[in-house]
Amino acid sequence: MNQLFDITRYAIGFEKMMDRLEMVNYQSSNSNSYPPYDIIKVDNLNFKIEMALAGFNKKDITVEVCDGILSICSTKENTQDSSKVFRGISYKKFNRQFTLADDIEVQNAKLEDGLLSIELVKILPENKQPKIIKVK
């Protein structure tokens, strides 16, 4: 195990967070650049992932959240088309994964004009929300 994660010897109750950080480290070391994407911070509670998927249809893409991992994948591949002189737009299998914090939820996903947009929101538990204390 990486020395960064040796902190678990001194911390109690952080195992899930350490497992997620280890997964992020693994994903970044084993990732390629396809398909290209942006992560946008809309405001303090809202984020968006935009992924360029020219030529893909809704039926070609699967978006899944399981145990804090957002997976976007497709099994679409190039087909033989003798009418194409040059193929610059590639359709290839991919599985892009993002590790989400415990308080991040996927709100929706839509594919429009070759751009997949996934909206994420940070849900603050009631005990972490600001509250006004009445002065007596």
In this predicted model, what pLDDT tens digit does every residue of 50-87 receive, in sequence order? 999 988 999 999 999 998 899 999 987 767 777 777 76
Q: What pTM did the predictor assign? A: 0.69
* Contacts of the segment 86-90: beta carbons below 8 A, 24+ positions apart: 89/54, 89/55, 90/34
Rounded to whole angstroms, how far apart are CA atoms 112 and 96? Answer: 19
Is residue 120 within 8 A of residue 41, CB to CB? The reply is no
Rounded to whole angstroms, how far apart are CA atoms 108 and 118? Answer: 6
The per-residue pLDDT for range 11-23, each reduced to its tens digit, is 556 566 666 667 6
Rounded to whole angstroms, how far apart are CA atoms 96 and 27? Answer: 9
